[in-house]
Amino acid sequence: MFKTSFTRVARFTQLTPAFTRPLSYTAARMTVPQIKGLQVEVLATGSGPETKPGDNIDVHYRGTLTNGKKFDASYDRGQPLNFTVGQGQVIQGWDQGLLGMQVGEKRKLTIDPELGYGARGAGNVIPPHATLIFETELVKIN
């Protein structure tokens, strides 16, 4: 009986490698790795290749403070922001929080000050030590 059970488990294990990759992929897409100072919530899934460091991407976004006050939105301008991931062209919270996205995917990024604008803030729009909330949408990987 033990041998039969073991054989079934072995057969199941042999059959699952092709099947487990999509399952683990799906699970990975829904649970984005946690980085200190950054919370990522997937609001809608996308399709196609995932963003990686060095990719040039177009992203629509809406940025708010924790009190709900909007400080910027590409949607208002009708044009997404274009930048290269991982090159320091945007705040660290974006460089990390937008990795692994697919076109059409929407994420909510909650970024602590150390991965945002820190003690300096940003002009009179973002106060020092502000936690930032961004709703992002990957429009294109160029």
pLDDT for the residue 109: 97
* β pairing state of 70-73 and 81-84: unpaired
Band the pLDDT of 29: cuts 50, 70, 90.
very low
Query: Is residue 108 over pLDDT 80?
Result: yes
Using left for φ > 0, alpha for ψ between -120 and 50, and beta otherwise, residue 37 falls in left
pLDDT (average), residues 81-85: 98
* Annotated catalytic residue, options 57, 91, 111, 126: 91
- Is 25 considered catalytic here? no
pLDDT for the residue 96: 95
Which of 17-26, 32-41, 72-81 is predicted least confidently? 17-26
pLDDT for the residue 35: 80
The answer to whether 84 touches 58, Cβ cutoff 8 Å, is no
Q: What is the pTM of this model?
A: 0.76
- Is 134 considered catalytic here? yes
* Per-residue burial over 71-92, b = 16 or more CB atoms within 10 Å of its CB, e = otherwise: ebebeeeeebbebebbeeebbb
* Annotated catalytic residue, options 55, 111, 126, 134: 134
Position with higher pLDDT, 119 vs 21:
119
Band the pLDDT of 33: cuts 50, 70, 90.
low
Q: Which residues contact 36 (CB under 8 A, 6 or more apart)?
A: 112
Say how far residue 22 (Cα) sits from the centre of its chain. Answer: 19
* Annotated catalytic residue, options 61, 83, 95, 111: 61
CA 43 – CA 98 distance, rounded (Å): 13
Q: Could you tell me which residues are beta bridge partners of residue 72?
A: 63
CA 67 – CA 106 distance, rounded (Å): 21
Query: Is residue 10 over pLDDT 50?
Result: no
* Annotated catalytic residue, options 35, 72, 133, 141: 72
